[in-house]
Amino acid sequence: MNPTVQQVDAQGRLRHFLTLEGLKRQMLIDILDTAESFSGVTEQTVKKVPLLRGKTIVNLFFEASTRTRTTFELAAKRLSADVLNMNINASSTSKGETLLDTLRNLEAMHVDMFVVRHAESGAAHFIAQHVAPHISVINGGDGRHAHPTQGMLDMFTIRRAKGPDFGRLRVAIVGDILHSRVARSQIHALNILNTGEVRVVGPRTLIPMDVADLGVRVFHNIEEGIRDVDVIMMLRLQRERMQGALLPSEHEYFRLFGLTQKRLALAQPDVIVMHPGPINRGVEMDSQVVDGPHSVILEQVTHGIAVRMAVMSMVMSQKAQTTQAAQLDQTPGADA
Ligand code: CP
């Protein structure tokens, strides 16, 4: 991460949320516990709490999204914030306005937070570096770098299904690790939570050369890679980020690495199957597995709301406490 962007302040509170890399275990536990407390809001008749009343959150999505954009919007609304969804294709960036000029104009509208998705790795950090001091930035996925709220909602889903002791779990991440920001955030989160064993499984062309440096075991055979695991996290083939022919064909990929019911039987009997979406049925997974009893894919989507409420409220509470401290400092006689 760019050293000039501090996502955690001197008191250890979240200022921005850009990557899971480097965060402390207790921070991840705090996010999961806060999300747990928010998950009940979704089941209430009035699905709202007043925590972010009067705050304005801008969804700045420069790349396509279904789940992340909508669950951030729902999460912000359930916290009673005002939400602005920027339609980037219809904005003045299409007339040549620079990203920084767009940001300056939004800042002039006194907004409080940007949720950013961008095809370029590092875009959320860049924006965090350049925004006014009162604005927080949450990374909604940047290039192949990071997707930290996805990583956290995946941890929430695992904790719900398997309990809080990650040390007894074997987890396999299967597919296009090379181009996946989700895989990077999952690996960081699983390591921070002291997961017993983290495996990555995929063809040599789709696994980074240095991935073992992250403390994971590498498998190029799916039958070996998912044997006896408690959790299987499938990934989408990121065609839009592939340069050159990294795969013979999708049919061949499914034959070698697709998750079928027969292969699933090699894992633990109570294995859970996850996928961040969007799914390519018949490419990464057989439809019978997607819709089968081990799948928690739609639970992941539901949990995304509570986890995003948790992250947004924690970032905003840091700002509230910092502002209060600054006001106290300026009170005459405050240091008497
Ligand atoms: N998981 C995820 O990021 O999905 P979207 O691209 O639909 O937001």
Kindly state whether residues 172 and 52 are assigned to the same domain.
Answer: no
pLDDT at 4 over 90: no
Kindly state whether residues 242 and 286 are assigned to the same domain.
Answer: yes
Mutation probe of ligand 1 site: the residue of 63, 65, 72 with most atoms within 8 A of C-beta: 65
What is the chain's percent helix, strand, coil content, to nearest 5?
45, 15, 40
Kindly give the distance from the C-alpha atom of residue 220 to the centroid of ligand 1, in angstroms, as a whole number.
26
Q: What is the pLDDT of residue 245?
A: 65
Kindly state whether residues 159 and 289 are assigned to the same domain.
Answer: yes
Q: What is the pLDDT of residue 332?
A: 62
Q: What is the pLDDT of residue 232?
A: 98
Q: Which residue has the tokens 């951030």?
A: 72
Kindly state whether residues 142 and 34 are assigned to the same domain.
Answer: yes
Determine which residue's CA is closest to atom 4 belonging to ligand 1.
67
Stretch 203-208: mean pLDDT: 95
Mutation probe of ligand 1 site: the residue of 62, 67, 147 with most atoms within 8 A of C-beta: 67
Listed residue (197, 189, 191) closest to 151, CA to CA: 189
Determine which residue's CA is closest to atom 1 belonging to ligand 1.
276
Q: What is the pLDDT of residue 331?
A: 64
| 4 falls within a domain | no
How many domains does the structure of the chain reveal? 2
Kindly state whether residues 268 and 309 are assigned to the same domain.
Answer: no
2: confidence class by pLDDT, cuts 50, 70, 90: very low
SS3 of residue 52 by DSSP: coil
Q: What is the mean pLDDT of the chain?
A: 92
Instruction: State the closest ligand 1 atom to the C-alpha of 140, by its place in the atom list counted from 1.
Output: 3
Kindly state whether residues 307 and 175 are assigned to the same domain.
Answer: no
| 8 falls within a domain | no
pLDDT at 28 over 60: yes
| 19 falls within a domain | no
Under 8 Å between Cβ of 235 and 176: yes
Q: What domain range is 190 assigned to?
A: 148-297
| 203 falls within a domain | yes
Kindly state whether residues 172 and 312 are assigned to the same domain.
Answer: no
Q: What is the pLDDT of residue 244?
A: 64
pLDDT at 336 over 60: no
**142-173 pLDDT per residue, tens:** 999 999 999 999 999 999 999 999 999 999 99
Kindly state whether residues 279 and 255 are assigned to the same domain.
Answer: yes
Kindly state whether residues 53 and 177 are assigned to the same domain.
Answer: no
Stretch 287-291: mean pLDDT: 98
Determine which residue's CA is closest to atom 5 belonging to ligand 1.
65
Kindly give the distance from the C-alpha atom of residue 279 to the centroid of ligand 1, in angstroms, as a whole number.
10
State the CATH number of the domain containing residue 280. 3.40.50.1370
- 33, two tokens: 């516990």
| 18 falls within a domain | no
pLDDT at 333 over 70: no
Kindly give the distance from the C-alpha atom of residue 18 to the centroid of ligand 1, in angstroms, as a whole number.
16
Kindly state whether residues 157 and 291 are assigned to the same domain.
Answer: yes
| 12 falls within a domain | no
| 333 falls within a domain | no
| 327 falls within a domain | no
Kindly state whether residues 181 and 253 are assigned to the same domain.
Answer: yes
Q: CA dist 321 to 12, 13, 224, 303, 326, Å?
A: 12, 10, 50, 27, 9
Q: CA dist 165 to 86, 158, 220, 252, 254, Å?
A: 40, 10, 28, 37, 33
pLDDT at 75 over 60: yes
Kindly state whether residues 136 and 52 are assigned to the same domain.
Answer: yes
